[in-house]
Amino acid sequence: MNSTVTTSLVSWVASLNAQVQGAAVSATATLVGVWGTAFVAVAGFRQARRLSETNLIGHRQQIVSERRFVVYEDAVKYLLKLARLRPENYNFWPEMSDYPPAETEITGEEHVDMEARLVAWASPEIRALWKEMEEADHVADVARDTVHFLKGRAAYGVPRDPVSAEEIAARES
């Protein structure tokens, strides 16, 4: 506002009746109060909504992280059990050395359960590592089946003349 407008407004208010001046001041104060309250209410609502959304996002992330950590813990337990069930050097299987296996392998249901939980909750990096481990196990299983087949112990497709242990050793060298 420039000085002319301000001077005119002050002169006009001064020329009014005292009751009208009081009513004008009261009305102005009421308008300022109502507008201030509305502004604070809107700003408070927006801030509360932002905080709620942030809280919900954080809570969801915490739940996902907790479930992910439980799955990771179970996966480590699974891998430790798998390592305990297999010989120290996985290249020397009981099939190759004719030693009886220490314990039975992990059941298919247990493996499928662990894989399903990893697919549902694990990060893409962990899923990729799991996939690599499964591929390596598949290669090992194919090799074990081949040894069973060559020794004539396969549950399916047993050769007519099984290969002796000496012939297997000769083929490997």
pLDDT for residue 87: 59
- What does the angle CA 2 – CA 4 – CA 10 come to, to the nearest 5 degrees? 105
pLDDT tens for the chain, 173 residues long, are: 577 877 887 787 777 788 888 888 888 899 999 999 999 999 999 999 999 999 999 999 999 999 999 999 999 888 888 777 765 555 555 555 555 555 566 777 888 898 899 888 888 998 999 899 888 877 877 777 777 777 766 666 655 666 777 887 887 77
94's tokens? 């009981």
Question: CA-based Rg of the chain, rounded to a whole angstrom?
Answer: 40
143 vs 147: CA distance, rounded Å = 6
Among positive and negative, which fits the CA dihedral 57, 60, 66, 68?
negative
The pTM (predicted TM-score) of the whole model is 0.50
Cβ-Cβ contacts under 8 Å for 76 (sequence gap 6 or more): none
HEC per residue, 47-108: HHHHHHHHHHHHHHHHHHHHHHHHHHHHHHHHHHHHHHHCCCCCCCCHHHHCCCCCCCCCCH
pLDDT for residue 54: 95
